[in-house]
Every structure is written in C-alpha cells, then in structure tokens.
C-alpha cells in the first residue's frame, strides 16, 4: 500500500488514511468485495499506532464505504448502490428487522441479491435456482440458431400477447397438467412477477383488499403494497392455507382477489392438500372472488404425487394462473406466462403493452426453440435429482447441528425450507450474527403481511453443492449457539459498530 502520510499536516493521520481509501474506492481501484489490509499489518507498514488505522476503518464503515466482519476482516461495499438506496446503513438490515421498518420487502430482495454476490459469504437467502444448474450451453446454442434462422425478426418489436409458437408450446405443456387452454388464452409476461403486477393493476384500486397466505412471497407483498392494496393474511399450516380461516376472513371483508402459492409454497415449502384446493375453489365461487394462482415452483417435486392445480379444478372461470421458466430453467431470460379468463384478456393484454410493450422477442423465440427440441423434461429430471439430494443434505445437516427447540418443515419440492428458532430467539438478531460468521438466510418476518413471526427463517437448499451447504450450516450453527438465550458468548460479543464508534469517541474526547 503506497499511502503517503504527512505527519506535519493539520489533518489527523486517521483521516489521511480514511481519505486515501475513500479515494481508491471512488476511483474503482478497490472494488466491492475487496478486503482491506488487517489493521495491525497496515499500522506496522505505515509506522502508526493500530488505533489510528482502526479509527480510519471505523470512519469508513460509519460512512458505508466498508463493512467489518468479526474474525474475517473489513471489506469494500458498493457505495453507489448504497447512495442510490438513500439508506443510513450499507445493507439496511437493522432498520428492516430490528426497528420500525423504513425499508420495503423489495428492499430486502435487492439486499439479498447484493449479499449473494459477496465472495466470502454463503447465502441461503435467495429463492433462486442453482447457478451451476442453468443450461447455459444449450441456451446459447438456441439463441445462435434463432438468430441464424430469424435474423432481424428476432430482434424486432413484437405483439404484447407474446410469440405465437411459444404460446402454442406452453398450451401443450399445460394440457398435460389438466389445464386445457388455447394459445389465445395465454399472455407471455416478463417473469411471473409481471403477471402478479398486471393482475393487481387490472383487478384492484388503491385501498382495496387482497387476501394472501401469511406468510407469503415477499415480491407479492411488494407489488400489492406498491399498488396501494391492503393485504389480509390467512395462516398456513402443514396442509397449506387454512381455508377454515379464509372462510371467516371472506365474510368480514370484500377482497378483490385471493393470491395463493399452492405447490411448495414460498416461503414455508408446504403444499395445499387436494381437499383444501377443492374447498378454496368452492369458496371463491361462493363469494365471487377471483383466485390468482402462482405455480412458479410446481415442476420441482421430489417426492409424493402431484395435486391438480386450482386452475385445473376450477375449469377457468375464476382462476388466473401465473407461472414462468425462472425456477425450472433460467430466471435471467425473464419469460413467464399467465392463463387468463376470457373476461380479463383484453384488459391484461393492454396493461402488458402499457408496461413494457412485449417480452424480449429473442428470448421467447429461443425458449420456443428449446421447448421444441424436447429438452425441458430431461433438464427437469436432472434438476429434481440434484435438488432432492441437496434438500436431503440440508435436512440432515440441520438435524445434526441445530440445538433442541429448532424446528423445520420438510418440503416435498421447491427450493427453500422454513425453520423456526428455539423459544426466545430473534431471527433478525441471528441474521446480524450470522453475517459476521459468513452465512446469510432470509429473515422470516419480511414474508408476513401483518403480525410477523420473528423467530422464523427461510433457507434455500438448492443453490449450493452439498459441501457448501455443510459449511454454511456449520457457520449458522455457531451463530445460533452464540445467540441462544443465556449464552455466555452472546453476552461477551460486542456489536461491531458500537465497539468501533466507542473507540472514535474515546479518541475524540
Ligand atoms: C412464489 C413466487 N412467485 C413469483 C416469483 C417471481 O419469479 P419470476 O418473475 O422470476 O417468475 C418468485 C420468485 O422468487 C416466487 O418465489
């Protein structure tokens, strides 16, 4: 490090060090994720006391340029992202989980994405498929073949409803699942997230009520809340949404629709039983409420027999069905679809057009070409094998490492499992400790529309190899041990920020 310090300058040495690092980060010499030298080594290098370096690092951290991890070092953050978010801490975790929330559920999603890129951190936080399972080579071939075949057509403007051969293909896939639709009943969307948004926009106005499971997919909460919708939650148990409670809720409010994830529910992993599906469809008819069914993980079943979708049971009157190729194939191509009832088709297509004109024509064509080649079923079979092994690895690891009082649900499919901490433990506080040990998870409270359970967390079992899962759980177990009520380690452990701020105050005083 060629830091030139001027011992005779009026500017204190710690500020000169701080400024030097800030300058290196701003100029892109030190990139996000880069580790700063250990304070002891840098102090020796520069011929200054260690406290000078510690104070320089503490200033940098207080301003969000770097983040310290106990026992692992100090790392450069992404200051641009932090500035854009307008938050007062680089990750915003404390305000999200521990105090009144100034950060949206969607803020947590972007934080999770950001953290997942941290090189030293094992993240179980995302609801994403495994990067090592994405069929990159196959898809590159598809894109090249489509460009050769269709030329500029593949890169032209297109119809909002979507590429017709792709819609035909999807209609064929759905027929095999008992959903009989023609291509005109399908609307291609940019991921199922857009399906959620379009449905919310055409079915609700600000102030309306929508019913969801509680907990539910955090991205759905974000869409609903950002459209001014009031969300009422219906609890979930081992058989999915409590339809007995739903019945009571329906009699006390006038919801615009019911949003549900019947297969491998995000975040709990549970599957709605057939009996409850029938009752749900019945209730929707009786109360004349549309259902928005989200089938985004439905292809990822590892055991048990599949249960008919609500759309198949209903026959198309009242259920809007959304799905995508994000979990089963490639989230980055952003191709999803909606099965839409006739009475809503026109409005949804117009909404889609207003939102983004159409979904990438090249991606739609490449996907249609991929599906034509019949490769999806082979890919899904391999995914199911890999993810089932990873799920079993995580379940076994949890059983081996977690203290008594920790519970979890064994999912029959999907990507994530839901765990509850021993009595008296907070998942938000555990999160902060876990980050220091180099492991992340999704804090359960953000998935609740109201009355959040603060002791739950969601773990993605699919995205890492078995040995990485094992190491991640080892780190998590250490953080849990430390956070157990009455743990001596918890009492001893100083908060990183508090400790370093104290040392600045002492020096300034
Ligand atoms: C239940 C659920 N629905 C919808 C989505 C959105 O996915 P995409 O827009 O990639 O299809 C997700 C993503 O994690 C999800 O978990």
136-376 has which CATH code? 3.40.640.10
* Ligand 1 and 324: CB distance under 6 A: yes
Distance from the alpha carbon of residue 163 to the mean position of ligand 1, in angstroms:
21
Residue 208 structure tokens: 């309306």
* Residue 6 pLDDT exceeds 80: yes
pLDDT in tens, 168-203: 999 999 999 999 999 999 999 999 999 999 999 999
Domain 1-90 has CATH 1.10.10.10: yes
Distance from the alpha carbon of residue 466 to the mean position of ligand 1, in angstroms:
24
* Residue 103 pLDDT exceeds 60: no
Q: How confident is the model at residue 112 (pLDDT cuts 50, 70, 90)?
A: low
* Ligand 1 and 268: CB distance under 6 A: no
Least confident of 109-113, 309-313, 500-504: 500-504
Question: What atom of ligand 1 comes closest to residue 331's alpha carbon?
Answer: 10
Residue for token pair 């064994």: 410
pLDDT at 61: 85
| Residue to mutate (ligand 1; options 266, 338, 411; most atoms within 8 A of CB) | 266
Query: Which residues does residue 336 pair with via DSSP β-bridges, in sequence order?
Result: 189, 324
* Residue 52 pLDDT exceeds 90: no
* Residue 133 pLDDT exceeds 90: yes
Q: Kindly tell me the burial class for residue 377, based on how many C-beta atoms sit within 10 Å of its own C-beta (0-12, 13-18, 19 or more).
A: exposed
* Residue 256 pLDDT exceeds 60: yes
- The fraction of the chain above a pLDDT of 70, given in percent, is 87
Q: How confident is the model at residue 88 (pLDDT cuts 50, 70, 90)?
A: very low
pLDDT in tens, 416-439: 999 999 999 999 999 989 998 999
* Residue 96 pLDDT exceeds 50: no
Residue range(s) occupied by CATH 1.10.10.10 in the chain: 1-90
pLDDT in tens, 328-366: 999 999 999 999 999 999 999 999 999 999 999 999 999
Give CA–CA dist 266/218, Å, rounded.
9
Rounded to 5 degrees, what angle do the CA atoms 99, 440, 78 make? 80
pLDDT at 466: 97
- The fraction of the chain above a pLDDT of 90, given in percent, is 69
Cα–chain center distance at 95:
18
pTM to 2 decimal places: 0.78
* Ligand 1 and 127: CB distance under 6 A: yes
R_g of the chain computed on alpha carbons: 25
Least confident of 14-28, 180-194, 385-399: 14-28
pLDDT at 492: 55
Residue range(s) occupied by CATH 3.40.640.10 in the chain: 136-376
Q: How confident is the model at residue 77 (pLDDT cuts 50, 70, 90)?
A: confident
* Residue 106 pLDDT exceeds 80: no
């Amino acid at each position: 490090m060629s830091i030139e310090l001027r011992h005779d300058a009026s500017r204190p040495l710690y500020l000169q060090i701080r400024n030097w690092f800030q300058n290196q980060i701003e100029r892109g010499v030190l990139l996000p994720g880069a580790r700063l030298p250990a304070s002891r080594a840098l102090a020796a290098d520069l011929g200054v006391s260690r406290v000078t370096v510690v104070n320089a690092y503490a200033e940098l951290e207080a301003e969000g340029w770097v983040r310290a991890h106990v026992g692992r070092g100090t790392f450069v953050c992404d200051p641009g992202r932090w500035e854009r978010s307008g938050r007062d801490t680089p990750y915003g975790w404390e305000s999200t989980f521990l105090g009144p929330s100034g950060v949206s559920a969607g803020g947590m999603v972007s934080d999770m994405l950001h953290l997942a890129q941290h090189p030293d951190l094992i993240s179980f936080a995302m609801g994403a498929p495994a990067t090592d399972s994405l069929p990159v080579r196959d898809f590159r071939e598809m894109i090249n073949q489509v460009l050769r075949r269709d030329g500029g057509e593949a890169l032209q403007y297109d119809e909002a409803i979507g590429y017709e051969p792709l819609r035909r293909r999807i209609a064929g896939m759905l027929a095999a699942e008992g959903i009989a639709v023609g291509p005109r009943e399908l609307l291609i969307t940019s991921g199922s997230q857009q399906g959620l948004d379009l449905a919310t926009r055409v079915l609700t106005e600000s102030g309306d009520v929508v019913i969801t499971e509680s907990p539910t997919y955090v991205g759905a909460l974000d869409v609903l809340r950002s459209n001014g919708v009031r969300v009422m939650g219906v609890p979930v148990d081992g058989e999915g949404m409590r339809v007995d409670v739903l019945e009571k809720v329906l009699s006390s409010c006038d919801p615009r629709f019911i949003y549900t994830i019947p297969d491998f529910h995000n975040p709990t992993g549970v599957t709605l039983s057939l009996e409850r599906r029938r009752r749900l469809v019945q209730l929707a008819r009786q109360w004349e409420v549309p259902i928005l069914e989200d089938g985004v993980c439905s292809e990822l079943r590892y055991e048990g027999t599949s249960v008919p979708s609500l759309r198949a049971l209903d026959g198309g009157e009242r259920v809007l069905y959304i799905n995508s190729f994000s979990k089963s194939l490639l989230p980055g191509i952003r191709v999803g679809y909606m099965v839409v009832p006739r009475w809503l088709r026109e409005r949804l297509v117009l909404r889609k057009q207003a939102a983004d004109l159409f979904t990438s024509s090249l991606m739609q064509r490449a996907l249609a070409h991929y599906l034509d080649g019949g490769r999806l079923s082979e890919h899904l079979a391999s995914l199911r094998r890999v993810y089932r092994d990873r799920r079993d690895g995580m379940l076994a690891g949890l059983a081996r490492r977690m203290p008594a009082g920790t519970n979890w649900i064994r999912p029959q499919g999907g990507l994530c499992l839901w765990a509850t901490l021993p009595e008296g433990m907070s998942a938000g506080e555990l999160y902060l400790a876990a980050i220091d040990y180099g492991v992340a998870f999704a804090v359960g409270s953000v998935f609740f529309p109201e009355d959040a359970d603060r002791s739950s967390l969601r773990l993605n079992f699919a995205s890492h190899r078995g040995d990485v899962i094992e190491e991640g759980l080892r780190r998590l177990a250490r953080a849990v041990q430390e956070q157990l009520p009455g743990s001596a380690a918890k009492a001893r452990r100083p908060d990183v920020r508090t400790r370093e701020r104290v040392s600045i105050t002492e020096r300034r005083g």
